[in-house]
């Protein structure tokens, strides 16, 4: 018994000694030791684990407070710096001429390890981006516009029906149905038909939220997450019924991948081309056509195009319902684009890790250092956007009249070589949908406020205090039948 106690005590002492020595190294001898930040963040990952896993996605708020105390470039964990400087952002998130790798810790958040967005190496990322860049070009998006217009008309009709029935609408689900149908038609060649279903379900959007909420757990405990993934399907769905949606989706995507690989030597017209055809084209090396990679890339395209745009449209409804004076101005301005009452205007009518040392003011960021930057902070930086929490969309027009280009500092889609590929599609969806909603409806919030769309928790996308996002609303008035 005494021997066991001695061995146990020795083991505990060794473990504690190891972590203490690591903390001392991180604080005094690490290449990032000279950068400002609280000692408890620099010493270990425990603080980040506590705030993101135990407290639930709250470390982003802690980082914001760190910037207030320590300045624009701070150390937020032993191996990572964080930037809150809109005037230096373009140097960090630079174009293809500057090599920028991706931090391996942040790459696991989506769960798709072989996709473009989780590719660590700069050169491999550039190659993979090249395979599908033309698929997301502005020209390709313009070819999709008639389909987007058709889906938005379906959305308008469903909202008219909801008005007649007096239904309360969950914003993120109805707009999730819209974006799901568009991205699946575009990327997979067949729409999932969420807008054709009764009510406003969009099970895929609801279950995608559950996947996001496991992101920090998977990041800090990858071994446990990997073990859970190896469990039989029936066990996993018993533990989390929401996962059943993803098993069904994976089987569907697997079938589409097999079909694409079988027809890879056939010529496919631009109108019939899918993401699978782009990923299995003649310019793609054989090792990049593995089933695992095709599945990862196609899943990421779906989820990237699903929740993000749906959230933007949900926020738009919230702000329009809260600020009727802004809604009135926008509605007046849209009249010039609305040539015929029965038509919708075209969207065209609406006006990371550096591999070399990177100087920043008096400091030099060591090569290979992970440097993060939150759009939530940069898009609210008071030096660029005074009174950032005040909803004043005309600030963009006022700045333009004074020769300022605020778009240069808008980093919603990131910038540089890893800029979001789907930016053209996202803007097309938002312009067309917002125009239709503003033209056709007055909306009122139901048991919801702006607080429900303000970030409180960070899981790659934001959530409120109750681990949800978005507002409920009713169509108060139909303006055009």
Per the annotation, binding residues are 420
Annotated binding site for heme: 420
Asked if residues 104 and 120 have their Cβ atoms less than 8 Å apart, the reply is yes
Asked if residues 171 and 471 have their Cβ atoms less than 8 Å apart, the reply is yes
Report the Cα–Cα distance between both ends of the chain, in Å, rounded: 84
Instruction: Give CA–CA dist 171/193, Å, rounded.
Output: 18
- Residues in Cβ contact with 83 at an 8 Å cutoff, skipping those fewer than 6 apart: 72, 73, 89, 92, 371, 372, 373
Sign of CA dihedral 109, 104, 423, 141: negative
Sequence-ordered strand ranges (E) for 150-215: 169-170
Instruction: Give CA–CA dist 47/62, Å, rounded.
Output: 10
Would you list the DSSP string of 103-125?
Answer: -TTGGGTTS-TTSGGG--SHHHH
Give the full edge-to-edge strand order of the sheet including 472-478. Answer: 169-170, 472-478, 441-445
Instruction: Give CA–CA dist 87/105, Å, rounded.
Output: 26
Instruction: Give CA–CA dist 352/75, Å, rounded.
Output: 15
Q: What tokens were used for 171?
A: 């914003």
**DSSP bridge pairs for 354:** 100
Closest CA to 276 of 186, 390, 378, 362: 186
User: Between vectors from CA 424 to CA 421 and to CA 429, what angle results, nearest 5°?
Assistant: 120
Instruction: Give CA–CA dist 65/56, Å, rounded.
Output: 17
Asked if residues 421 and 132 have their Cβ atoms less than 8 Å apart, the reply is yes
Sequence-ordered strand ranges (E) for 339-471: 353-354, 358-360, 363-365, 370-372, 441-445, 457-459, 461-463
- Residues in Cβ contact with 212 at an 8 Å cutoff, skipping those fewer than 6 apart: 307, 459, 460, 461
Q: What tokens were used for 221?
A: 């405990």
User: Between vectors from CA 379 to CA 107 and to CA 400, what angle results, nearest 5°?
Assistant: 135
């Amino acid at each position: 018994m005494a021997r066991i106690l001695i061995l146990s005590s020795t083991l505990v002492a060794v473990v504690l000694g190891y972590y203490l020595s690591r903390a001392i190294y991180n604080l005094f001898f690490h290449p990032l030791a000279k950068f400002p930040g609280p000692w408890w963040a620099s010493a270990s990952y425990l603080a980040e684990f506590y705030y993101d896993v135990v407290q639930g996605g709250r470390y982003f708020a802690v980082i914001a407070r760190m910037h207030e105390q320590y300045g624009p470039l701070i150390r937020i964990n032993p191996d990572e710096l964080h930037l809150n400087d809109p005037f230096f952002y373009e140097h960090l998130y630079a174009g293809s001429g500057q090599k920028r790798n991706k931090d391996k810790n942040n790459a696991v958040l989506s769960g798709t390890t072989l996709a473009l967005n989780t590719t660590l190496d700069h050169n491999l990322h550039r190659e993979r981006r090249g395979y599908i860049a033309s698929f997301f070009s502005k020209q390709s998006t313009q070819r999709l516009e008639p389909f987007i217009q058709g889906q938005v008309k379906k959305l308008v009709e469903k909202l008219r029906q909801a008005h007649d029935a007096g239904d309360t609408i969950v914003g993120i689900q109805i707009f999730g149905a819209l974006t799901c149908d568009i991205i699946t038609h575009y990327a997979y060649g067949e729409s999932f038909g969420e807008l054709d279903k009764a009510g406003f379900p969009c099970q895929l959007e609801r279950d995608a939220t559950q996947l996001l909420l496991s992101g920090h757990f998977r990041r800090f405990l990858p071994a446990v997450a990997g073990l859970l993934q190896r469990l039989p399907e029936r066990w996993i769905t018993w533990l989390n019924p929401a996962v059943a949606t993803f098993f069904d989706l994976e089987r569907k995507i697997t079938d589409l991948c097999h079909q694409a690989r079988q027809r890879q030597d056939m010529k496919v017209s631009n109108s019939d081309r899918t993401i699978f055809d782009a990923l299995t084209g003649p310019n793609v090396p054989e090792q990049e056509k593995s089933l695992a990679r095709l599945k990862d890339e196609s899943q990421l395209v779906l989820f990237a195009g699903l929740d993000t745009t749906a959230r933007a449209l949900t926020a738009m409804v919230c702000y329009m319902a809260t600020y009727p004076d802004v809604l009135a101005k926008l509605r007046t301005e849209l009249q010039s684009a609305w040539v015929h009452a029965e038509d919708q205007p075209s969207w065209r009518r609406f006006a990371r890790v550096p591999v070399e040392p990177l100087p920043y003011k008096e400091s030099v960021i060591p090569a290979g250092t992970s440097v993060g930057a939150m759009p939530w902070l940069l898009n609210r930086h008071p030096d660029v956007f005074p009174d950032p929490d005040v909803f004043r969309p005309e600030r963009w027009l006022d700045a333009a009249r004074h020769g300022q280009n605020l778009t240069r500092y808008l980093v919603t889609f990131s910038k540089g070589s890893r800029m979001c590929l789907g930016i053209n599609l996202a803007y097309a969806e938002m312009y067309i949908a917002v125009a239709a909603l503003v033209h056709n409806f007055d909306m009122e919030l139901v048991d919801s406020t702006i607080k429900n769309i303000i970030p409180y928790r960070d899981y790659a996308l934001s959530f409120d205090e109750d681990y949800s996002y978005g507002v409920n609303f009713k169509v108060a008035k139909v303006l055009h039948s």
